[in-house]
Structure 1
Amino acid sequence: MRALLAVDVAEKRRRLKRLLRAANLDVVSAVSGGTLWQHLKQADVDLLLVARSLLPDPAVPFVAAVRELPEHPEVVVMSQTEDPADRAKLLAAGCMAVLYYPLPDGALVDAVRTLVGRRQDDALRGRRVLALGQRYSLADFVSASPAMQAFVAVARRVVSTDSSLLILGETGVGKERLARAIHAESPRSAGPLVTVNCGALPEGLLESELFGHEQGAFTGATRSRRGYFELADGGTIFLDEIGDLPLHLQVKLLRVLEDHSVQRVGSERATSVNVRVMAATNRQLEVEVKAKRFRSDLYYRLAVVTLTIPPLRDRREDIPDLARSYVSHFAVHLGRQVSEVTQQAMEALMGYSWPGNVRELINVIERAVLLSAGSAIDLDDLPQAVAAHAESAGRPSDELASLAVSFRRLQHTPLLQARQEVVAAFERMYLSDLLRATTGRVGEAAKRAGVNQRSLYQMMQRHGLRKEDFKWQTDRDDGERP
């Protein structure tokens, strides 16, 4: 396995090179951003470990372009400063991880080994062709959220069909993962799944990549080449960021959907293809259609079935289970003795808005597992932007007025979203006070709240509260051992 190390500070570069070699990687070095792309194209590398300072600003187009290389490396960005918005964008563009200085030597080696291990697990690397089998499943989307449950129910009904599918949702919600799961459970699972990021490939190459070309079709076409649709024959093609597809290529895609055939660039004949088409975007395609940036006939062809994945902030009740699941996963793969999340850390996870959605949550948990010095992830292990959303579980109810201070950050938030956040904050505080007062006795707490136990349990689950965390609160306050 080979790593390309791109760090401009000599001392850090020497240290990281030593650590990477200790992880049994061959290391190639780049010392400036100007030579980075040249190294990537000339060297067959599996891992790009790059300083954020060497990336262009914005860095997203560069990362996306790296991800579209025929045999792309996994990308790990290392940064001096924590920038949640930048991290979310980098992860959404395809970065495997965003790490922050300083990291202990052992933690960095463990992280690199984990990333390399994931790389070795890939069944196919060439041209983004993925044979997924049962590695992905709709069971991965099991949720406590009613909205998510309804979404999964619809997804299960479309698994066995060949109808086109349009997946909508914000960056990081798991659109590609859903496409992989549907493909894996479909009758086409034995065939390939080819994924294409329509926004990452240069417009001049996109037509050739999608539909193929004949020898001599354009300068540099020294041989004929199949496009992604032909590579996906017998399986599924997933067109990510479909809203970025140029109008003239939208016409060709419409023909593929209608005629089930493709015409290579420079060819006069059509080639039949047996492909299911799934597409995804975080844009509002109805708006794009009205603005004449997206063809209405193609939109209706793609949107035979539309699935919208709810953002993580709208299904906060899933955060505790997701967080604990990722803690268990990374504890095993990183060799850490971490098994839990403290109540205060969980409150921070529940209160954060997650602009990068599930992908950002995964990154935050992986980082926390790496940094945790104990058996549980604590508030100090979380990025500052996340930790700032922690509420004190023991805050007395007569301090409710002090919550008004935090309302100021909502002044630029839409009314409905702001109202939801305020209600959620009050509900978490109320339940925490109630459970503390009843030392975790749910029956007594439900009676005081005037609700049944089932409703109280559902509210506790939604806010990541467990009765065990309050059972011994009184004894702890008295200094006694439980």
Structure 2
Amino acid sequence: MKRRVLVVDDEANVRKALSTTLGKVGYDIKEAASGDEALMQVESFRPEVVLLDLRMPVMDGMETLRRMKQLDGNHSRVVMMTAYGSASDVMEAMRLGAFDYIQKPFDLAAVKQVVANAVQHPENEEEPLPGHDSGDEGQERSGLIGLSPAMQNVYKLVGRVSMSKANVLIQGESGTGKELIARAIHANSPRASQPLIPVNCGAIPENLLESELFGYERGAFTGAVGRKQGMFELADGGTLFLDEVGELSPALQVKLLRVLQDRKLIRLGGVEPISIDVRVIAATNRNLQERIRQELFREDLYYRLNVVPIHMPPLRERKEDIPLLIRHFLAKYSREAGKEGLYLSQATMDLLLGYHWPGNVRQLENTIERAVILASGPSILPEHVRGHLQEVGTADQPAPVPGIRYEGRTMREILQEVEREAIARALRKERGNKLQTAKRLGISRRALLYKIEMYGLKISEEEQV
């Protein structure tokens, strides 16, 4: 029996190309030129997969998707198609129950693969989130900008995970926009009307962080003159965003784990457990799995937080988004400075596109803000940005180490070679004694064994201990 596919697009040539391609590989194809026609075809044809264009006159693809999901007995997997996809469009489509989201112009082979994935997917897997309308929130309003494949994948994950209650762990380098992702998840969730409480775990001293998170009773410690609710209680019904969660001390990790397990907390100085309904979104620029191996982060807490992982790509891996980001930041800061109409010279754009951006989007934003202030004419020239890039680039380079080659290598490669050499030297000094080597390096024996294996370090038989 042929699998049924409905192609919905107001452009006849797009419908024909898709119908011909999918028909040749054995699908039963029907076409619809509008949202209204698509809804009628869904009820009569009962397609298993719908390829649905986002931008159509009268009833657009998003409204058509909403109505399709409301039809009784409709289990079609909907794949959205558009040439104009923004972050909010992708997240809204996934939140409403779309199976996938592809951009025009698309590779027909990729379309065949998406359709094949959809027909093999279990029914009822993509259920829309009820009772929430995100409104017309564009990229600039959400703060998420980028059309690269890497960012499209992030938007899809945000749309899907916003429908659930699951904890989320956002990992990525500093400046990639992890907090923006946390805010987008909250804004697209059923908790959107409740508070989102951000906590920077790395910026609050450990002796204060416990009381900030869990609250305290009067007399709990010197200066506790009254009861205070902690961040968990303030976020009740909403979302708690734990930024830099990798910086938590071992003692606080234990207490956080208990709260996540029991959904209850006890204030400092208190005895009564308090029930809470809080979704936790955590973020870190640390490699938590490495910290687990070094016995600096609890493995059980990691799995509690990492129910849905989201990786934020560094800017150097999505350079096609740099012009969009520049346009956004340039409009923002030129408006604030009363210099509207500023533009980048081609030489400046080439310079920014060729830079490696160790500070990611945050560094790019800072660079554009500074350039707007320095510009005295209608255009931003290379001299308005070059000095800042050199300053940051110099600060990011490690101090020279004898025997280490720097030219043409990434920071990660340089640091790994430095680490490998430090471990090799320590092993030689301790004549292969792993326990003493670990103590010398200030890491656990388990972490040392992992590093020895990772770097392929060899120890002579007479030196092994």
* CA distance in 1: counterparts of 2:165 and 2:391, whole angstroms: 46
Q: Deviations over 1:7-27 (max 9, x none)?
A: xxxxxxxxxxxxxxxxxxxxx
1:211-226 map, 5 Å? 211-226=214-229
Cα 1:409–1:251, aligned 2, differ >3 Å: closer, same or farther?
A: closer
Counterpart for residue 410 of structure 1? 407
* CA distance in 1: counterparts of 2:190 and 2:236, whole angstroms: 13
1:142 is displaced (CA, Å) by 4.5
Where does the alignment leave 5 or more consecutive residues of structure 1 unmatched?
A: 1-131, 390-407, 418-482
Is 1:181 matched with 2:184?
yes
Is 1:368 matched with 2:365?
no
Q: Deviations over 1:215-271 (max 9, x none)?
A: 111111111110000011111100011011111111111121111111101111111
Counterpart for residue 384 of structure 1? 387
How large is the Cα RMSD of the aligned pairs? Answer: 2.6
TM-score (norm 2): 0.54
Amino acid at match of 1:368: A
Cα 1:196–1:133, aligned 2, differ >3 Å: closer, same or farther?
A: farther
* CA distance in 1: counterparts of 2:412 and 2:251, whole angstroms: 40
Counterpart for residue 96 of structure 2? none
Amino acid at match of 2:248: L
SS at match of 2:367: helix
1:186 is displaced (CA, Å) by 1.3
User: Which of residues 271, 274, 299 in structure 2 aligns to 1:271?
Assistant: 274
Q: Which has the higher helix share?
A: 1
1:144 is displaced (CA, Å) by 3.0
In our comparison, the structure showing a higher alpha carbon Rg is: 2
1:171-320 map, 5 Å? 171-320=174-323
* CA distance in 1: counterparts of 2:294 and 2:135, whole angstroms: 40
SS at match of 2:333: helix
Amino acid at match of 2:260: L
* CA distance in 2: counterparts of 1:326 and 1:224, whole angstroms: 43
Cα 1:265–1:315, aligned 2, differ >3 Å: closer, same or farther?
A: same
* CA distance in 2: counterparts of 1:218 and 1:284, whole angstroms: 35
> Contact 1:213–1:226 (CA<8 Å) still a contact in 2?
yes
SS at match of 2:370: helix
Cα 1:414–1:217, aligned 2, differ >3 Å: closer, same or farther?
A: closer
* CA distance in 1: counterparts of 2:218 and 2:138, whole angstroms: 37
* CA distance in 2: counterparts of 1:322 and 1:239, whole angstroms: 26
Identity among equivalent positions (%) equals 49
Is 1:357 matched with 2:354?
no
1:337 is displaced (CA, Å) by 3.1
> Contact 2:145–2:325 (CA<8 Å) still a contact in 1?
no
Cα 1:414–1:354, aligned 2, differ >3 Å: closer, same or farther?
A: closer
SS at match of 1:196: strand
> Contact 1:143–1:318 (CA<8 Å) still a contact in 2?
yes
Q: Deviations over 1:132-160 (max 9, x none)?
A: 99989696434232122112211211112
Is 1:344 matched with 2:341?
no
* CA distance in 2: counterparts of 1:202 and 1:143, whole angstroms: 35
* CA distance in 2: counterparts of 1:297 and 1:346, whole angstroms: 46
Amino acid at match of 1:165: V
* CA distance in 1: counterparts of 2:411 and 2:356, whole angstroms: 13
Where does the alignment leave 5 or more consecutive residues of structure 2 unmatched?
A: 1-133, 393-404, 415-465
Q: Deviations over 1:41-70 (max 9, x none)?
A: xxxxxxxxxxxxxxxxxxxxxxxxxxxxxx
Amino acid at match of 1:252: K
**Aligned length in residues:** 268
* CA distance in 2: counterparts of 1:304 and 1:136, whole angstroms: 28
Cα 1:409–1:166, aligned 2, differ >3 Å: closer, same or farther?
A: same
Counterpart for residue 427 of structure 2? none
1:422-437 map, 5 Å? none
Amino acid at match of 1:413: T
> Contact 2:171–2:310 (CA<8 Å) still a contact in 1?
yes
TM-score (norm 1): 0.52
SS at match of 2:165: coil
Cα 1:135–1:256, aligned 2, differ >3 Å: closer, same or farther?
A: farther
* CA distance in 2: counterparts of 1:139 and 1:232, whole angstroms: 21
Q: Deviations over 1:335-366 (max 9, x none)?
A: 10333211100011111111111011111111
Amino acid at match of 1:245: L
Q: Deviations over 1:106-129 (max 9, x none)?
A: xxxxxxxxxxxxxxxxxxxxxxxx
1:413 is displaced (CA, Å) by 2.7
SS at match of 1:195: strand
> Contact 2:143–2:180 (CA<8 Å) still a contact in 1?
no
Q: Deviations over 1:411-450 (max 9, x none)?
A: 4436999xxxxxxxxxxxxxxxxxxxxxxxxxxxxxxxxx
Q: Deviations over 1:365-391 (max 9, x none)?
A: 1111111122221112114253799xx
> Contact 1:342–1:376 (CA<8 Å) still a contact in 2?
yes
1:201 is displaced (CA, Å) by 0.9
1:206 is displaced (CA, Å) by 1.1
> Contact 1:142–1:152 (CA<8 Å) still a contact in 2?
no
Q: Deviations over 1:173-219 (max 9, x none)?
A: 11111111211121111111111111111111111110001111111
